[in-house]
Structure 1
Amino acid sequence: MQHRSDRLADEPGHDIARPAAPWHAARFAGIPVVALVVLAFVLLWFGTLDVRHLLGPDEGRYAEIAREMLSTGDWVTIRYNGLKYFEKPPFHMWATAVSFSLFGIGDWQARLCVALSGMIGLGVSMLATARWFGARAGLLAGLVLAAAPMWNVAAHFNTLDMTLSGVMACVLAFMLLAQHPDATPAARRNWMLACWAAMGVAVLTKGLVGLALPGLVLVIYTCVTRDLALWRRLHAPAGIALMLLVTVPWFWLVDQRNPEFLRFFFIHEHWQRYTSTVHARKGALWYFVPLLAGGFLPWLGLVPGMVRAVRQRAGVSDTGGTGGIKPFQPALMAALWAVSIFVFFSLSGSKLPGYIVPVFPALAILAGMALTQTGDRAWTRQLRAMLVIGAIGLLASPIVATLNSNNTPNVLYRAYAIWAALAFALVIASAAVALWLLRRQSRMASVTGYAFGMLLAFSVALLGHETIGRSASGIDMIAPIERVLRPGMPLYAVGLLDHTLPFYLRHPLTMVAQADELAFGTEQEPQKWLPTRDAFVEAWQHGPPAVALLSPSAFAELSTRAPMHVIARDWRRVAVTNFPFAGER
């Protein structure tokens, strides 16, 4: 089949790219060059996982849940600090626990799941783009996604959002692959079954959103195109059966062991989370607009071309469908995927930055297509714009050194300001090198160099955050605490829920007075916590040897009521014992 994108050619004085090569017949500069480029991206992607310590709340929380899962051998009932924790399904924690079992417990092992999810999402997006728009477009889509800040940063934070986004990228890509007009009946069936299975994994990652979002996109697509025949090509009976096979066993097992699970999970964690502000994660209707713009910053100049690709029905043949069947519109599907998910979460009563990460593979598919139709002049304008943005960021980076907050002292911001300046300097250098490559080599070399430079720049900005994240993680307190903390010894948390120290200490907390996000668990197992500070003082004075983590304000109050021997302290927490020890401060 000859697609619209395959018939466009360069003309002198026109800003149109060469025609895309067939998806199976790309010509490259050479296998060694391609191998070196891929190796560079992979090393930068995976080689930075262990440079930073884990941050709270998400990174420490999910790492500790996985550690406790591996330690107890209970892979059904999710627990956090020994308490039932039913806010999320288990797939991400299962994958992390497997990583721990294979490679040991550590920072990079905790982030391996998200890094792989990001890379898998990138790979399947390239595959789907290449199938519809040619191999060159597929390569460009991969470069776009790798260098999209929101995608590559999320792929280096241990959160469920990135794992979900990687799986959702599979859902979109498999749908696109299944609907290609040249797909054989067997290939269409297999790709659609893979799509349904991926939706099942998405449900096991973050709940019904893994089914609701693809369903929403499909409904809107068929309303816009009036292509109801698409529903007959979904292989729904077999697909639904496969999806249920993936999801039902865990839900059945956890409900059998915990009758309270279903109501909390589906009512509180789904309906109330979306329709109310019960989780205190408010945000204006435009909350995600700056996140979307910043998360796609290096490629914003491609937006007009992306819109044009949708309006011109990129990938659809002029002859239309056969036998009265309407042709599938891949660019429109990708566009509706991005827009629908963006609007869905914008209307939610609960908002967090990671919620819109699933839109970026769809944007990358459109951007890869747009780049094949972008000429030298348009690409030059994009690079010059990034030179300006990088210069503005570099000049503004000293502002970071003036920041201060109750949670982060100014001295840490001053250290991070240097890294922010370096990141913007790399943005400038990347755009400059890309301009040089455009004149001396080719547009593909220019885009590749630009994408790698942007990935490097944002990686530097992320790695530099260790100047703040190290103390936030509490890693410097681990050694002194480990000298006095023994297995089975109570480790109380008073006035704070520390999300990272339990993981690094390999020791769960016992909550005191303030249950925080463990309120559901303390309601189910009230014997596993101390509901008042008076109860803590009583246990501290008359109970077994123990260690406690206190907020500075809680320490100031309680140290006047009970003897406390300080082990270590930082600007977030104070670690104390109820017994004297050698080397006491």
Structure 2
Amino acid sequence: MSLHTLSTRQKKLAAAAVIISIIALYLVHIYDYPLMDPDEGRYSEIPREMIATGDFITPRLNGVEYFEKPILQYWLTAASMTVFGENEGAVRVVPAVTAVVNIFLTAWLAKLMFTNRTALLTAAILATATLHIAVGSINILDMMITMFMTLSLVTFYQGRRTKNRRWYLLMYAAMALGLLTKGLISIVLPLGIIFWYMLFTRQWSIIRDIIYLPGIILFFIIGVPWFYLVCQANGDFFYFFFIREHFLRFATKIEDRYQPVWFFIPMVILGMFPWLGFLPALFTKQGVIRSTESDDNKRDIIFLLTWFFVVFIFYSCSDSKLVPYILPCLSPLAILLAASIRRSVKLDRWMAHGLLVNSVGCFIFVAALIWYSTHADYLNAWEIFHKGWLIFLSLTVGLAVVICIWLKTKQIRCTISAFVVVAFLFAAGLQSIHGQVAVERTADYVATDIRRIEQPGDIVVSYGDYIQGLPFYLQKRVVVASYLGELEFGSKHPSGQGWFINDAQLMNLWNSDKRVFVVFDKSKKRAINKLFPDKIKSSSPKGGYYFIVNRD
């Protein structure tokens, strides 16, 4: 049997190995590290408060109304916490599972467009891409909305391919569920992609196909009831959610998240690591973009490029930019990369010197990580080497093995198979580093110290900031001093009265007959020293937070 040929049994074993590795990569580690502030604390506390209050209509954060995001992920996280307990692993089940689903949906689309082997390679590429694994490892909303966008576009494609309009039921359901996850973006981006794809390919019948009454009805059945109920319970929800959080956030710098228009270019490049070295091959003369094999293949490539660029341009034009926003770009890019590598296999040569370029990129990454370890604020060199040893092993020894396999066999398929193993080892190492970052940015440790000496009736104050994970780990509401931030809207409601105080009110509380804990990070040490001279002991607490107490 030649190196090119695998038996049916070997193919099934290889596919099973990749699938099991993907599931393990995203699920095994979710209990291993504490909640990372600020995002994980926020998106864990809201469902915890839903369970505590029994109110599953109005989201609340630290006891006040919080309308920045819709309800679906809160519901699912609350369900997970009910089953698995109120702990870190339970709140990460939703992003981890949706990450795995997003990978398999993307692989399914690759199978529909290309071949089974392209689908398997697509799954491996997307699963081990740095940005995908980073976002799939923390409890934020971006992975779920990405998965629903992928589902809507894959089912649209399948509906067009099979000419079976029932697939559009799933497309509309996905957009409705995305609406309940992160708002109107779940409609704007998929329909924008479909619109431009229709223009580029001149398939005007798309309009007739997707205006599908049963799908539209299903969309409203799924998407409208919660919005109706929350608007009935909260008269100011509509303006805050639809006007402020959608139009003003996109069009203005209201959230102070402005980045230059080119911000997402390096984010996509780094987000696709360790596969970025294969990107140049996409644009060669015989690459999959410039050299299509049929009219159907050309339309497929246009669909993937339209998907990528509509998302990329939309967010690049926004005045509000965060790294996870660009996550939906990774699915079409992973398919294009897999198809490009498969083209190299077919041609029996590396297009654009893909292996060489990728290897150099990996070695540069190792050098950059070593440099970063000597300059990082909260990760030292020892922690990076100790926790992330798999990264260094995979990108040095592992990569050397890959190169040796290529030099010995000259078989691109065998070489890529070996690199897939390296990529999974790299991703596993990345998980360890991710966990170490969480250890340096968590309220878990300060909350544990407070719980050891806390008594009924004691008051905990978060000073100069709202420390997101503190209420979750203390299982109670905290007073917020000299800060409003994202809680400003809720603080003006009756539910916020007495829970937001200034420095003078904090001093009165401190001097009262109540036992008071004040929690703060190192940036607030100078302000705390002015308010409470000689109260801060010289220490560097694990997790990045200090606390003082007015009486023992």
Name the Cα RMSD after superposition: 2.9
- Answering whether residue 86 of structure 2 is matched by residue 105 of structure 1, we say yes
Give the SS at the match of 2:551: coil
Structure 2 unmatched ranges of 5 or more: none
Question: Which of 430, 439, 442 is the aligned partner of 1:473?
Answer: 442
1:207 aligns with: 183
Alpha-carbon distance in 1 for matches of 2:339, 2:78: 38
Would the alpha carbon gap of residues 530 and 154 (structure 1) be closer, same or farther in structure 2, given more than 3 Å must change? closer
The percentage of aligned residue pairs carrying the same residue is 27
How far does residue 553 in structure 1 lie from its aligned partner after superposition?
2.8
Worse-superposed segment, 453-462 or 567-576? 567-576
Would the alpha carbon gap of residues 426 and 290 (structure 1) be closer, same or farther in structure 2, given more than 3 Å must change? same
Would the alpha carbon gap of residues 488 and 266 (structure 1) be closer, same or farther in structure 2, given more than 3 Å must change? farther
- Answering whether residue 228 of structure 2 is matched by residue 252 of structure 1, we say yes
How far does residue 417 in structure 1 lie from its aligned partner after superposition?
5.3
Equivalent residues of 1:384, 1:431 under 8 A apart = no
**TM-score normalised to structure 1 length:** 0.85
Give the SS at the match of 1:377: coil
Equivalent residues of 2:519, 2:545 under 8 A apart = yes
Give the SS at the match of 2:492: helix
Would the alpha carbon gap of residues 168 and 217 (structure 1) be closer, same or farther in structure 2, given more than 3 Å must change? same
Structure 1 unmatched ranges of 5 or more: 1-17, 319-327, 581-585
1:456-494, Cα deviation, whole Å (9 max, x unpaired): 213313412444431321433233211233466432111
1:552 aligns with: 525
How far does residue 124 in structure 1 lie from its aligned partner after superposition?
1.0
Would the alpha carbon gap of residues 488 and 171 (structure 1) be closer, same or farther in structure 2, given more than 3 Å must change? farther
Question: Which of 461, 464, 488 is the aligned partner of 2:430?
Answer: 461
Question: Which of 11, 26, 45 is the aligned partner of 1:64?
Answer: 45
Report how many residues are paired.
Answer: 539
Worse-superposed segment, 380-389 or 533-542? 380-389
Query: Residues 330-341 of structure 1: matches in 2 within 5 Å?
Result: 330-341=300-311
Would the alpha carbon gap of residues 347 and 365 (structure 1) be closer, same or farther in structure 2, given more than 3 Å must change? same
Equivalent residues of 1:132, 1:330 under 8 A apart = yes
Equivalent residues of 1:491, 1:510 under 8 A apart = yes
Worse-superposed segment, 261-270 or 482-491? 482-491
How far does residue 250 in structure 1 lie from its aligned partner after superposition?
0.8
Question: Which of 152, 155, 166 is the aligned partner of 2:136?
Answer: 155
Question: Which of 319, 329, 340 is the aligned partner of 1:370?
Answer: 340
Question: Which of 475, 483, 490 is the aligned partner of 1:514?
Answer: 483
Alpha-carbon distance in 1 for matches of 2:234, 2:538: 40
| Amino acid paired to 1:428 | T
2:104 aligns with: 123
Equivalent residues of 2:126, 2:132 under 8 A apart = yes
Query: Residues 46-65 of structure 1: matches in 2 within 5 Å?
Result: 46-65=27-46
Equivalent residues of 1:481, 1:567 under 8 A apart = no
Would the alpha carbon gap of residues 267 and 344 (structure 1) be closer, same or farther in structure 2, given more than 3 Å must change? same
Would the alpha carbon gap of residues 336 and 344 (structure 1) be closer, same or farther in structure 2, given more than 3 Å must change? same
| Amino acid paired to 1:339 | F
Alpha-carbon distance in 1 for matches of 2:289, 2:351: 20
Worse-superposed segment, 281-290 or 94-103? 94-103
How far does residue 390 in structure 1 lie from its aligned partner after superposition?
2.6
Would the alpha carbon gap of residues 379 and 38 (structure 1) be closer, same or farther in structure 2, given more than 3 Å must change? farther
1:96 aligns with: 77
Question: Which of 521, 530, 549 is the aligned partner of 1:577?
Answer: 549
Equivalent residues of 2:44, 2:139 under 8 A apart = yes
- Answering whether residue 265 of structure 2 is matched by residue 289 of structure 1, we say yes
Equivalent residues of 1:193, 1:235 under 8 A apart = no
Equivalent residues of 2:277, 2:355 under 8 A apart = no
2:242 aligns with: 266
Equivalent residues of 2:15, 2:120 under 8 A apart = no
| Amino acid paired to 1:538 | N
1:41-65, Cα deviation, whole Å (9 max, x unpaired): 3223211222222211111110111
Equivalent residues of 1:133, 1:315 under 8 A apart = no
Would the alpha carbon gap of residues 485 and 240 (structure 1) be closer, same or farther in structure 2, given more than 3 Å must change? farther
Worse-superposed segment, 232-241 or 154-163? 232-241
Equivalent residues of 1:83, 1:528 under 8 A apart = no
Equivalent residues of 2:446, 2:543 under 8 A apart = no
- Answering whether residue 497 of structure 2 is matched by residue 527 of structure 1, we say yes
Give the SS at the match of 1:125: helix
2:195 aligns with: 219
Give the SS at the match of 2:467: coil
Give the SS at the match of 1:574: strand
How far does residue 151 in structure 1 lie from its aligned partner after superposition?
1.1
1:141 aligns with: 122
How far does residue 30 in structure 1 lie from its aligned partner after superposition?
4.3
Give the SS at the match of 2:32: coil
| Amino acid paired to 1:166 | M
Question: Which of 164, 169, 172 is the aligned partner of 1:196?
Answer: 172
| Amino acid paired to 2:295 | V
| Amino acid paired to 1:215 | L
Question: Which of 451, 454, 458 is the aligned partner of 1:485?
Answer: 454
Equivalent residues of 2:114, 2:339 under 8 A apart = yes
Equivalent residues of 1:175, 1:191 under 8 A apart = yes
Give the SS at the match of 1:497: coil
1:108-159, Cα deviation, whole Å (9 max, x unpaired): 2211111111110111111122122122221121122112211122111211
Equivalent residues of 1:111, 1:158 under 8 A apart = yes
1:405-443, Cα deviation, whole Å (9 max, x unpaired): 4xx3xx745532555675244123343343455555964
Equivalent residues of 1:383, 1:431 under 8 A apart = no
- Answering whether residue 375 of structure 2 is matched by residue 403 of structure 1, we say yes
Give the SS at the match of 1:94: helix
Give the SS at the match of 1:542: coil
How far does residue 366 in structure 1 lie from its aligned partner after superposition?
2.0
How far does residue 315 in structure 1 lie from its aligned partner after superposition?
5.9
Equivalent residues of 1:394, 1:424 under 8 A apart = yes
Would the alpha carbon gap of residues 300 and 264 (structure 1) be closer, same or farther in structure 2, given more than 3 Å must change? same
Alpha-carbon distance in 2 for matches of 1:208, 1:463: 35
Would the alpha carbon gap of residues 280 and 380 (structure 1) be closer, same or farther in structure 2, given more than 3 Å must change? closer
Worse-superposed segment, 446-455 or 74-83? 446-455
1:82 aligns with: 63
Would the alpha carbon gap of residues 572 and 431 (structure 1) be closer, same or farther in structure 2, given more than 3 Å must change? closer
Would the alpha carbon gap of residues 315 and 511 (structure 1) be closer, same or farther in structure 2, given more than 3 Å must change? farther
